[in-house]
Amino acid sequence: MTVWEMAEHLARQQHGVISRRQCLELGMLDTQVTRAGRERGPWQRVLPGIYAVTTGQLTQAGLVAAAVLFGGPTSQVSGCLLYTSDAADDN
């Protein structure tokens, strides 16, 4: 499996998003991540250092996952946003 395939596999497990840090940990070069996140690249920049590997709009669960990745390992999501996100995935 290539690093690109590993990155896309990880992103699918995270509702379509991945962080720059995760890409580098998988073995991607910094320049590869930068190119992928450029305006005409295959990935969309969601937040600084956070990318969507799909085209089109992210689901609410994808946006929440992006926020958690951006916030770091101690970030948390609570309240109605989490409930709404779970409900949206059921539809």
Per-residue confidence (pLDDT) for residue 54, from 0 to 100: 83
Using alpha carbons only, what angle is made at residue 79 by residues 19 and 48, rounded to the nearest 5 degrees? 20
Over the stretch 15-46, which tens digit does the pLDDT of each residue have?
999 999 999 999 999 999 998 888 777 899 99
What band does 75 get if pLDDT is binned at 50, 70 and 90?
Answer: confident
Q: How far lies 91's CA from each of 60, 84, 86, in Å?
A: 12, 11, 9
Is-contact 36 51, C-beta < 8 A? yes
Residue 59 has pLDDT above 60, yes or no: yes
Per-residue confidence (pLDDT) for residue 87, from 0 to 100: 47
pTM: 0.81
Q: How far lies 8's CA from each of 13, 33, 45, 53, 65, in Å?
A: 9, 12, 15, 7, 15
Residue 84 has pLDDT above 60, yes or no: no
What band does 85 get if pLDDT is binned at 50, 70 and 90?
Answer: very low
* CA–CA gap between residue 29 and residue 68 (Å, rounded): 23
